[in-house]
Amino acid sequence: MSVILILILASLGVAVAFLVGFIWAVRNGQYEDTCTPAMRMLADEPAEKSPPPISKTKPSNP
Amino acid sequence: MNTNVETFKYDNRIVRAFAIATIVWGVVGMAVGLLAAVQLFLPEANLNLQFITFGRIRPLHTNAVIFAFVGNGMFTGIYYSLQRLCKARMFSDFLSWFNFWGWQLIIVSAALTLPLGFTTSKEYAELEWPIDIAITVVWVAFAVNLFGTIVKRREQHMYVAIWFYIATVVTIAVLHIVNSMEMPWSGLKSYSMYAGVQDALVQWWYGHNAVAFFLTTPYLGLMYYFLPKAANRPVFSYRLSVIHFWALIFLYIWAGPHHLLYTALPDWAQSLGMLFSLMLIAPSWGGTLNGLLTLRGAWDKVRQDPMLKFMVAAVTAYGMATLEGPALSIKSVNSLSHYTDWTVAHAHTGALGWNGFLTFSMLYWLFPVLYRTKLWSVKLANYHFWISLLGVIFYVIPIYIAGVTEGLMWKQFTKDGFLQYPNFLETIVQVVPMFRLRAIGGTLYILGVLLMVYNLYRTAKSGKFEPDTVAQAAPRANHAAVAGKTTFHRLLEGKPLFFTVLAVVAILIGGIVEVIPMYLIKENVPTIASVKPYTPLEVMGRDIYIREGCLGCHSQMIRPFRSETERYGEYSKAGEFVYDHPFLWGSERKGPDLAREGGRYPDAWHFNHMDDPRSTSPGSIMPRYSWLLTQPLDTNSLPARLKALRKVGVPYPAGYENGPAQKDLVAQATRVVQNLKQGAVTAESDREIIALIAYLQRLGTDIKPAPAAAAAPSSFE
C-alpha cells in the first residue's frame, strides 16, 4: 500500500499550493471587497455592445 | 485616478474555433454513445466488426464526451471569459493555437487508436503513452497561456471564475502525470508501472479527481461567468462563491477512495474517502443555491430565454449529482450500487444534465455575441431544451431502475439461504427493456443537439463574425502602493523567472518519474506464496482481454459479501494482484465477475461462448468475438512484452524471453488445443482465442483449491 504515500504527498502538494494561493489572495486584498466584483464583471466590456436582446419574432415569417 | 487608458483586442477567433470543435465532437461522442447503448440490447449492432464493438467504443464514447466535447467546451468558455475578466488578450496567440490544434490532434489520435484496440484499460485514461505525452505538452502550453494572461491582467481583482480555472489547470496536470506512468513495449502499447491494488488506488484517485477537476471546477467557473451574464445580474452572493471555491478545492482531492469501497483497500482509507465525500455536500449545494438564487426575481426571463432554461437545468443537475455522489459513497449504499447501472445513471445526470446543458447554454449565448446578431430562432432553441430534457429523463430514470434492480437481484437470497437468481444472466435479461428505453432517451437528446447545430449555423450565417473585440482599460494600479508585500509576486511577473519556474517543475516531474517506479517495485513484494506471474500465453491472452475492453462489462473483484462469495467464490485478496499491470478490477457488471473464472467451464465452452455467446447462454447480450478464432497470435512481440513486465517488477528469469518463453507458450497452447479436442472443437494453436482461453482459465486459480482437492474430503472419511 506504499502508493498511498505517493498519493497523499501529491494531494498534499496540491493542497499546500492552494493554501499558498489562498494566503496570497487574502494578503493581496483580493477579498477586501466581496461586493463590487460581481457587478463589475457584468459591465467589463466598455467597447463592446451588451448581448443582443432575444429575438421575439419567428425565424421565417411567412 | 489612472487616466492612461490602454486599447487592446480580445481574440475571438480562438473562441470560435473551440466552439465549433465542441459542437462537432459533441455530436460524434454522443452518436458513439448511442451506438454503444444499442449494442446492449442488440449485440448484432456491431455488424460483427471488432472496431465498433462495445468494449472498444465504450472508451471512445467516454473519452470523446469528456475530453473532446467537455474539453473543447471548457476551452471555449475559458478563452472567452478569461480575456474579459483579466481585461487582456490571451498571453500568446501562438500558444492559443498550439492548444487548439494540439488538442484536436489528440482527439483524432484517440478516435483512431481506441477502435483499433490500443488502450491502457484504465478508465478515462485509456489513451496510450505517446498520446499521454502529447496531452502533457498541450496542457503545459495551456497552463502557460492561462497564467501568462493572469499575470498581464489589467484588472486587479481575480474574479472567482479565474480561480476555478487555475484549480483545473494545476490539478489535472498532477493527476495526469501520476496516473499515466507506464512502461512502453511497442510504439503504441505499454504496461502500467503500478500493479494490482496500487494501480487501482492511483487510477481511482485520478478517476475521481478527473471528474472533480475536468468536469466540475472549470464548468463551475463558466457558471459563475455565463449565468450572471445571461441573467444580466450579479451572482446572488459573491462571498458565497468565494467560500464555494476554497471549500471545494480543499475537500475534493481526498474523496477518491470512495470508488474502492469494500475492496482490498485499507479500511481507514475507505472511511476517509467516505467522510470527505459527505462533507462535499456543503460547498456543492452552496454553489447550486448560489446559482439558482442568482435568478431570484428574474424567473420571468427564464420563461423566455432558452439560454437561462438550460442554465437552470444544468445547475439543478449539478445539485442532484452532488447530493447523489456523497450518498453513493456511503458504504452501505455503495454495497448495493457498486458495479450496477446506478453508477452509469449517476454519471449521465452529471454529463447530460450539468456538462451538456451548461455547454448548450454557453453556445446559445456566445454565437450571437461573436457574430453580432440575434439568435436565429428562439423557438427552435426552446424545442431543443424540451426535447433534450425529455431525453435526459428517458435516459436516467430507466437506468436508475435497472441499477437498483440489478443490485437487489444480485443480493436476493431464498428462505433456504440460496441465491434466488444464481444465474447472472437472469438479472441482465430482466433489465434489457430498460436498456431499450435508455437508447430512446439518448436518441432524443441527440435530436435536440442537432436542432442546436442547425440553429447556430443559421445564426452564424445571419451575422458577421468579429475576429477581434476592441476594448479599453487602464493598466493595473502600480504595485508601489503595496510594495514590500508583493515583491515575490512582482518577481514572478518577470518572464525569465516565470519560465525558470516552469523548467524547475518539468525537471521535478522527470525526477518523480524516475524515482517512484523504483520505490514501488521494491515495495511490491508478493504476500501470497502461491501467486505466480502469468505464463507467456496468459500474458498474450490478458493483452487481448485488455484490447477488447472486456473489463467494460466484467469486473475482477469479488467483494466480501455472502451474496458475492456464494455466486463467484472466495473474495478477492490484495495479494492476488501483485503481477497485474494494469489492474483489471473493472467498475461495471453487464456480465458476471470473472475473478474466479478459471476452471469454472471447460476450454471448449469458452471457445463456443466466444464464437457465439448465445449458443451457450441463450439471451446473453455479449457480442460475438468470432475474429479471435481466426486472427493469428502476435508472438513476435512476446519478448518485448516480457521485458517490459520485468522492468516494472514481474520476476521473469533473465533471458526467459529468448527461447524458454516461446517454448512454454507453444506447450501451453498445445494443451489448450488438446482440451478443445476433448470438447469436440478443432482449433489451430496459433490463434488469439487460444491465448484468451488460457488467461481466462488462469483467473483466480492461484489461491482457489483445484477441483480434485475440492472433491478430496471423502477420502479422509
The answer to whether residue B229 neighbours chain A at the CB level (below 8 Å) is: yes
Span B274-318, pLDDT tens digits: 999 999 999 999 999 999 999 888 888 898 899 999 999 999 999
Is B121 found in the same domain as B235?
Answer: yes
Span B118-154, pLDDT tens digits: 999 999 999 999 999 999 999 999 999 999 999 989 8
Distance CA B509, CA B503 (A): 10
Q: What is the phi/psi pair of residue B524, to 5°?
A: -85, 65
Span B60-104, pLDDT tens digits: 999 999 999 999 999 999 999 999 999 999 999 999 999 999 999
Does the residue B115 lie in any domain? Answer: yes
Choose among A6, A19, A52: nearest Cβ to B516: A6
Amino acid at A47: A
Q: Does the pLDDT at position B549 exceed 90? A: yes
Residue B563: domain span:
536-706
Amino acid at B596: R
B463 within 8 A of B372, measured Cβ to Cβ: yes
Amino acid at B412: Q
C-alpha cell at B554: 466484467
Cβ contact, residue pair A10, B486, below 8 Å: no
Last residue of a domain, one of B476, B499, B527: B476
> Can you state the angle between helices B13-39 and B424-462, rounded to 10 degrees?
150
pLDDT for residue B531: 87
| Lowest mean pLDDT segment, chosen from A41-45, B195-199, B347-351, B510-514 | B510-514
Choose among A40, A42, A52: nearest Cβ to B232: A42
Low-confidence ranges of chain A (pLDDT < 70): 1, 44-62
Q: How far is B395 from chain A (nearest CA, A)?
A: 31
B550 within 8 A of B585, measured Cβ to Cβ: no
C-alpha dist (Å) from residue B443 to A34, B38, B258: 44, 10, 32
Is B542 found in the same domain as B454?
Answer: no
Does the residue B482 lie in any domain? Answer: no
Does the residue B572 lie in any domain? Answer: yes
Q: Which of B265, B274, B357 is nearest to B317 (CA)?
A: B357
B89 phi-psi bin (left φ>0, alpha ψ -120 to 50, beta other)? beta
pLDDT for residue B479: 45
| Number of domains into which chain B is organized | 2
B132 within 8 A of B176, measured Cβ to Cβ: yes
Is B218 found in the same domain as B359?
Answer: yes
Q: What is the phi/psi pair of residue B265, to 5°?
A: -70, 145
Q: Which of B58, B82, B30, B13 is nearest to B453 (CA)?
A: B30
Return the CATH number at B23: 1.20.210.10
B314 within 8 A of B357, measured Cβ to Cβ: yes
Q: What pTM was estimated for this model as a whole?
A: 0.90
Cβ contact, residue pair B85, A44, below 8 Å: yes
Is B213 found in the same domain as B301?
Answer: yes
Mean pLDDT value of segment B355-362: 96
Last residue of a domain, one of B427, B458, B476: B476
Does the residue B490 lie in any domain? Answer: no
Cβ contacts of B202 on chain A, cutoff 8 Å: 3, 6-7
Mean pLDDT value of segment B664-671: 94
B294 within 8 A of B236, measured Cβ to Cβ: yes
Does the residue B507 lie in any domain? Answer: no
Mean pLDDT value of segment B350-360: 96
* Whether the predicted interface score ipTM is above 0.90: no
Q: Which of B344, B265, B323 is nearest to B37 (CA)?
A: B344
Q: Does the pLDDT at position B506 exceed 80? A: no
Is B248 found in the same domain as B379?
Answer: yes
pLDDT for residue B253: 82
Cβ burial of B420 (10 Å; 0-12, 13-18, 19+) is middle
Return the CATH number at B573: 1.10.760.10
Is B549 found in the same domain as B469?
Answer: no
Does the residue B207 lie in any domain? Answer: yes
B312 within 8 A of B230, measured Cβ to Cβ: no
Distance CA B186, CA B634 (A): 12
Is B402 found in the same domain as B270?
Answer: yes
Specify the DSSP class assigned to residue B257.
Answer: G
Is B99 found in the same domain as B28?
Answer: yes
Choose among B235, B378, B469: nearest Cβ to A55: B378
In the block, cell 455575441 appears at B369
Which B residues, 518 through 537, put their C-beta within 8 Å of a C-beta on chain A? Answer: 519-520, 523
Average pLDDT, chain B: 89
Choose among A22, A24, A56: nearest Cβ to B246: A22
Mean pLDDT value of segment B536-542: 95
Q: Does the pLDDT at position B578 exceed 60? A: yes
Mean pLDDT value of segment B452-474: 93
Does the residue B438 lie in any domain? Answer: yes
The answer to whether residue B268 neighbours chain A at the CB level (below 8 Å) is: no
Is B301 found in the same domain as B158?
Answer: yes
A2 within 8 A of B520, measured Cβ to Cβ: yes
Cβ contact, residue pair B520, A39, below 8 Å: no
Cβ contacts of B365 on chain A, cutoff 8 Å: 51
pLDDT for residue B272: 85
- Which residues are registered as beta bridge partners of B471? B8
Q: What is the phi/psi pair of residue B427, to 5°?
A: -70, -30
Does the residue B509 lie in any domain? Answer: no
pLDDT for residue A58: 47
Choose among A3, A19, A35: nearest Cβ to B198: A3
**SS in 3 state form for B301-322?**
HHHHCHHHHHHHHHHHHHHHHH
Last residue of a domain, one of B476, B497, B514: B476
Distance CA B228, CA B238 (A): 11
The answer to whether residue B457 neighbours chain A at the CB level (below 8 Å) is: no
